[in-house]
Structure 1
Amino acid sequence: MSLIRVQNFSISLDGFGTGAGQTKDLHFGHAGDRLHEWMFATRYWEAGGSGGVDDLFLRQFDAGVGAEIMGAGKFGHPGWHDDPDWKGAWGPNPPFHTPVFVLTHHPRPSIEMEGGTTYHFLNAEPAEAAKIARDAAGGLDVRLGGGPSMIRDFLAAGLVDHMHVSVVPILLGRGVRLWDGLEGLERDYRVETTSSPSGVTHLTFTRSAGA
């Protein structure tokens, strides 16, 4: 069976996966680009960038992935559902290139974008969304794209097989945290850490047998 996995999800030292005050122009709120600057410095992102540890992790983003599930907050700013012309925060050619299932209480018709991405809108619980995305992935893995609330819900439901979290050495102080309500999560996973010269610490969680 295909895996449900999180790949390259960045959080701050104090556990925030996005900042406060998200708007149409500030997709990650007051955090701006700070959670993702480590990505921009890699060779994967731009020719001439770093080819080290960060680059190796980033290259796993779409490896073996056949579908994505994302939360409403990743698709757009608060209130996007009131704009019938809104097609997401990721431009005309989004970086997903697969079916993407957006979890929202405001479903709308599917939107086909350039590059192979098609947005489908679901009002569904995690288990149902996972089944739908797995069916669409054609035997490949399903990536949980975020935001932190959505990933937390899938973790709480015991649906995540593998997770890669990048801990960025910044303090945000406010926003949406990833780990709240997940006390003892580590008991169900083999946890490994890899440090990078950039200051980022990469954590991988692989579900233990029988968990």
Structure 2
Amino acid sequence: MSKLRVESFTISLDGFGAGPDQDMDNPLGVGGTSLHGWALPTRTFQQKLFGSDSGETGVDDEFAARGFQNIGAWILGRNMFGPVRGPWPDESWRGWWGENPVYHVPVFVLTNHERAPLVMEGGTTFHFVTGGTAVALERAREAAEGKDVRLGGGVNVIQQYLRHRLIDEMHIAISPVLLGSGERLFEGVNLPALGYACVKHEASARATHLILSRQ
């Protein structure tokens, strides 16, 4: 069976995976963008975000690149798709990434409010799932056709899948910044009791990278 993987999810030194007060100007919450100082300069992210062949190689780029390998579908929480809350007022919001998002595979967005699938350029189609985490995973695995499913977040969604021991592997990057408040990734989550262990760790000048695996 394909794996459910978290990749390139960054937390601060004080454990926050997002800052407070997410809005249009602060899609990762106030201060949240500072978490990704390790990722943005990499060749992988420069290519995915800007279509550039420039960018840095090395440890950070190796971890960024692995997050796109053998991925056949994504799952996102609604906040990762956009800042709109409650019932969809219309279909004008089409995601943070413009008309050609970085995914290039089917993406399943968890929401409490129905919306028709949204077909984008580059092979990305957003499917809005109202049936909960298990239904989203079932549909994503079917769409992935044997490849792995990447769980993009946010924090609450990752916690839900962790507590059900559905995540097979997590790449967590620890960035040397302090946010002070926001959403703590492992708040109330007992990783050892759920069967998770750190199986690899490696540091660069900008982050410490951890691989956590379900045993």
TM range (shorter): over 0.9
Tell me, yes or no, if the aligned pair for 1:67 and 1:143 is still in contact at 8 Å. Answer: yes
- Taking the TM superposition and a 5 Å limit, the aligned residue runs for 1:61-210 are 61-79=67-85, 81-185=88-192, 188-191=195-198, 192-198=200-206, 200-208=207-215
Query: What is the TM-score normalised by the length of structure 2?
Result: 0.91
Structure 2 partner of 1:43: 43
Cα displacement (A) at 1:141 = 0.3
RMSD after superposition: 1.6
- Provide closer, same or farther for how the CA distance between residues 181 and 55 of structure 1 changes in structure 2, counting only shifts above 3 A: same
Cα displacement (A) at 1:190 = 3.3
Q: Percent identity?
A: 44
2:193 and 2:11 mapped to 1: Cα distance? 17
Q: 1:53 aligns with which of 45, 59, 67?
A: 59
Tell me, yes or no, if the aligned pair for 2:129 and 2:135 is still in contact at 8 Å. Answer: no
Tell me, yes or no, if the aligned pair for 1:127 and 1:159 is still in contact at 8 Å. Answer: no
- Provide closer, same or farther for how the CA distance between residues 120 and 187 of structure 1 changes in structure 2, counting only shifts above 3 A: closer
Tell me, yes or no, if the aligned pair for 1:149 and 1:177 is still in contact at 8 Å. Answer: no
Tell me, yes or no, if the aligned pair for 1:126 and 1:157 is still in contact at 8 Å. Answer: no
2:168 and 2:12 mapped to 1: Cα distance? 23
1:125 and 1:74 mapped to 2: Cα distance? 16
Matched, 1:28 2:25: no
Tell me, yes or no, if the aligned pair for 2:79 and 2:154 is still in contact at 8 Å. Answer: yes
2:193 and 2:84 mapped to 1: Cα distance? 32
Query: What is the TM-score normalised by the length of structure 1?
Result: 0.92
Partner letter of residue 37 of structure 1?
G
Offset from partner CA, 1:107-149 (integer Å, 9 cap, x none): 2000000111000000122222211110110000000001111
2:213 and 2:99 mapped to 1: Cα distance? 34
Unaligned runs of at least 5 residues, structure 2: 47-52
> Where in structure 1 do 4 or more consecutive aligned residues deviate above 3 Å?
184-187
Say which is worse superposed, 38-47 or 12-21, in terms of deviation: 38-47
Report the count of equivalent residues: 207
Cα displacement (A) at 1:78 = 4.1
Per the alignment, in what secondary structure is the counterpart of residue 128 of structure 1? helix
